[in-house]
C-alpha cells in the first residue's frame, strides 16, 4: 500500500508542475494584454490632448486673417476658406504628446472655411515587451484623434459714419452671447476667439 501511494504521488507531481506552469503562463499573458490595453488608452489620451492643443493653436493663428478681413468686407471670403499653417499647431501637438509620454508621428491640418480640422496620430514610447508574446519588445500602441475649429456665430455690421466702412461688427454666438468687434480697436483675440470659434474632438 505504501509503495502504491508513493508511486501515485510521483505521478501527480509532473501534472502539478504542468498546471502551475500553465497558470503562470496565463498570468503573464493576461498581464501583457492588460499592459497593451493601458498603452492603447495612453496613446489615445495623448492623441486627444495633442489634437486639441493643435486646434487651439490654429484658432490663435487665425487672428491676423480674421481681423484683416473685417474692414475690407472680406469676412464671408474668410469664412469660405483661408490659409492655415501646420507649423505651430503641429509643434503644439508634439509638445502635448511628449507630456503624455508619446510621440506625434503624424499631424495634418485641413482648412475647411468655417470648420477647420486637425488630425494627430500618436505612438506610445513604451512597448508591450512581454516574454510570452514574440516581438512584443518592439510593439507600441498607435492611436489618432481629430479636433475641429468651428465658427459658431451669426453676424452683421454697421456703418455709423456713412463712409462706406463698417465701424463695428456684431456677432451672436451659440455660447457666450453677443460679441462686438471694432476693426479699429479690436478686443484681445485670446478672449473673443474662444467665443467665436469652438474647439472640440470628433469621431472619425
Per residue in 166-197, pLDDT tens?
788 999 998 767 889 998 899 999 999 999 99
pLDDT score at 28: 52
Closest among 66, 51, 83 to 193, alpha carbons compared: 66
The pLDDT value given to residue 46 = 93
pLDDT score of 20: 58
* Chain segment 117-151, per-residue pLDDT in tens: 999 999 988 875 555 455 555 678 899 999 999 99
Q: What is the pLDDT at residue 39?
A: 79
- Alpha-carbon distances of 137 from 31, 104, 130, 161, 171, rounded to whole Å: 14, 20, 7, 71, 55
How confident is the model over 9-33, as pLDDT tens digits? 555 656 655 565 555 555 555 555 5
Question: Does residue 5 register a pLDDT over 60?
Answer: no
pLDDT per residue over 58-96, tens digit each?
999 999 999 999 887 889 999 888 888 889 999 999 999
Amino acid at each position: 500500500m505504501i509503495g502504491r501511494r508513493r508511486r501515485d504521488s510521483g505521478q501527480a507531481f509532473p501534472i502539478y508542475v504542468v498546471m502551475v506552469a500553465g497558470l503562470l503562463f496565463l498570468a503573464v499573458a493576461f498581464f501583457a494584454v492588460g499592459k497593451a490595453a493601458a498603452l492603447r488608452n495612453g496613446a489615445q489620451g495623448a492623441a486627444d490632448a495633442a489634437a486639441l492643443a493643435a486646434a487651439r493653436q490654429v484658432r490663435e493663428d487665425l487672428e491676423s486673417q480674421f481681423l484683416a478681413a473685417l474692414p475690407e468686407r472680406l469676412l464671408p471670403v474668410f469664412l469660405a476658406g483661408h490659409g492655415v499653417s501646420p507649423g505651430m499647431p503641429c509643434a503644439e501637438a508634439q509638445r502635448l504628446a511628449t507630456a503624455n509620454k508619446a510621440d506625434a508621428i503624424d499631424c495634418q491640418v485641413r482648412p475647411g472655411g468655417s470648420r477647420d480640422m486637425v488630425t494627430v496620430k500618436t505612438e506610445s514610447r513604451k512597448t508591450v515587451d512581454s516574454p510570452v508574446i514574440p516581438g512584443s519588445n518592439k510593439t507600441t500602441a498607435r492611436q489618432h484623434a481629430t479636433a475641429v475649429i468651428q465658427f459658431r456665430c451669426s453676424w452683421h455690421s454697421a456703418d455709423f459714419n456713412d463712409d462706406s466702412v463698417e465701424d463695428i461688427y456684431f456677432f451672436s454666438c451659440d455660447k457666450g452671447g453677443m460679441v462686438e468687434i471694432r476693426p479699429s480697436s479690436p478686443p484681445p483675440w485670446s478672449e473673443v476667439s474662444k467665443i467665436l470659434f469652438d474647439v472640440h474632438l470628433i469621431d472619425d
